Amino acid sequence: MQKYFLPLLAWLLAGCVSSHETIHPPETWRGVHLWVDRESRAQELIRTLPALAKAGANTVVIEVNYSFEFQTHPELRHKNCITQKTAHALAAAARRNGIRLIPEFNCLGHQSFGDRIEPLLQAHPEFSETPLSVMTDTNFYCLSWCPRAPQVNKIIFELLDEIAAGFEADALHVGMDEVYYLGMDDCPHCHGVEPGVLFAAQVNALHAHIVGRKKLEMLMWADRVIGPKYQGYSKFDNARNDTSAAMDLIPRDIVMCDWHYAWRQTYPSVPLLAGKNFRVWPAGFLPLKAAQQLSDFSQTQGTNVVGYLATTWNQTTITNSPSWPPIKEILPRWKN
C-alpha cells in the first residue's frame, strides 16, 4: 500500500502548477555561477561586477553554502565566512550594475567534499542519510542529509532565511544536484522508500517554505530530476540511483538549471523540461565547444528557456571571469 500511497501523496502536495505568481525578470537571463565561499571572494566580486555587467551578465548565482555569518546557527559557519555587512554591500553593488544576485545553498546532497564533511553533518551526525560509521569513510562521495530526519528542515529553513535576507535576494538556488544516497537500508527514517518520492518530498518542503511562505523564486539543478536517460551514467551524473520519478511530483514554477558539460548533437532534457512547463536555464562549462553547442541548441527550444548560465567551478578567478571565453563569447549571444 505504501508503494502507491506515497507517490500519490507527493503529487497532491506538489500540485501540477504552483498557485504562487512567480517573478519574471524583463530580460533574458544571462547568468554566471561563481563560488563565493569566503569574505575575500565576496569583496572581489563587488569589484568585478561592473566588468561582468559589461561582458553581458545580468544575473549572478553565488554559491555560498555554509560560508555566511549565520546568527541563528553560528556553529554552522565556515571559517572566513561572508559577513552580513559585506553581503548587503554585495547586494547593493549588484543593483547598481543591473545584476540580479541569487545566492545558492546546497540542499540534501553535497554535504561532504572528499574527506571534508560540511558543518551540518559535523554538528548533527544523526541527520546523515548513511550509517554514522560512514562519517569517517572517505570512499563516500557527496554525503546527504536524510530528508525525513526530525528537525533538519527547521534548521535549513533558518539558514536559507538568513542568506536571503543578507543578500537581499528575491530568489534562492537550493542545489539538489548529485544526490546519491536516499532510502538507504540503514537509515532509520526512510529505508525502503523509493528515492524519487524522498527527493520530491524534500523539493516540496523547500518550495513550500521558499515560494509559499517567503514569496521568493526557487531554482535548482536538474540532473536528479531528468535522470540517467537524459543526464548520463557517469559517477558524477546518475551512478547509484534514479530519482527521475520526482519530475512529476514537484511544482512547475521551479526554475530548472539544466547542466551539461559534454558535447552532444542535441540536449533532449532541455525540451523535455520545457515541455513539462518548467522554465529551463541551461548551464554550460567546458570545453568551450560543448558550451557553445548547448547554448546554440537551447536557443531553438522556445520561450520556456529563460537564458544561459555559465558555470565556472574555479577554472577562472572572479577577477578574470569577465574575459573567460565561456562567459565572454557566449553570453552576448543571448542579448535581447
Largest CA-CA distance found in the chain, in angstroms, rounded: 57
Q: Which residue is it, cell 565572454?
A: 328
96 falls within a domain:
yes
* Spatial separation of the C-alpha atoms in residues 179 and 202, rounded to whole Å: 12
Q: Is 62 helix (H, G, I), strand (E, B) or coil?
A: strand
pLDDT in single tens digits along all 336 residues of the chain: 444 344 444 434 444 434 333 334 548 999 999 999 999 999 999 999 999 999 999 999 999 999 999 999 999 999 999 999 999 999 999 999 999 999 999 999 999 887 789 999 999 999 998 866 666 666 667 889 999 999 999 999 999 999 999 999 999 999 999 898 888 888 899 988 999 999 999 999 999 999 999 999 999 999 999 988 888 755 555 546 889 999 999 999 999 999 999 999 999 999 999 999 999 999 999 999 999 999 999 999 999 999 999 999 999 999 999 999 999 999 999 987
pLDDT value for 231: 84
pLDDT value for 67: 98
34 falls within a domain:
yes
Name beta bridge partners: 217.
Answer: 171
pLDDT value for 285: 97
91 falls within a domain:
yes
200 falls within a domain:
yes
- Sign of the CA dihedral with 269 first, then 275, 276, and 280 last: positive
pLDDT value for 240: 63
pLDDT value for 16: 41
Name beta bridge partners: 104.
Answer: 63, 173
pLDDT value for 135: 66
175 falls within a domain:
yes
* Spatial separation of the C-alpha atoms in residues 196 and 203, rounded to whole Å: 11
Task: Provide the pairing of β-strand 59-63 with 255-259.
Answer: unpaired
Contact call for residues 197 and 182 (beta carbons, < 8 A): no
Domain that holds residue 54: 2-16+27-334
**Residue-wise burial string across 110-127, b where 16 or more C-beta atoms lie within 10 A, e elsewhere:** bbbeeeebbbbbeebeeb
22 falls within a domain:
no
CATH number at residue 212: 3.20.20.80
Q: Which residue is it, cell 550509517?
A: 131
pLDDT value for 123: 94
21 falls within a domain:
no
* Spatial separation of the C-alpha atoms in residues 30 and 41, rounded to whole Å: 21
Contact call for residues 110 and 69 (beta carbons, < 8 A): no
Number of domains in the chain: 1
Q: Is 23 helix (H, G, I), strand (E, B) or coil?
A: coil
The kind and range of the H/E element at 46 are helix 39-54
Task: Provide the pairing of β-strand 255-259 with 217-221.
Answer: parallel
pLDDT value for 136: 66
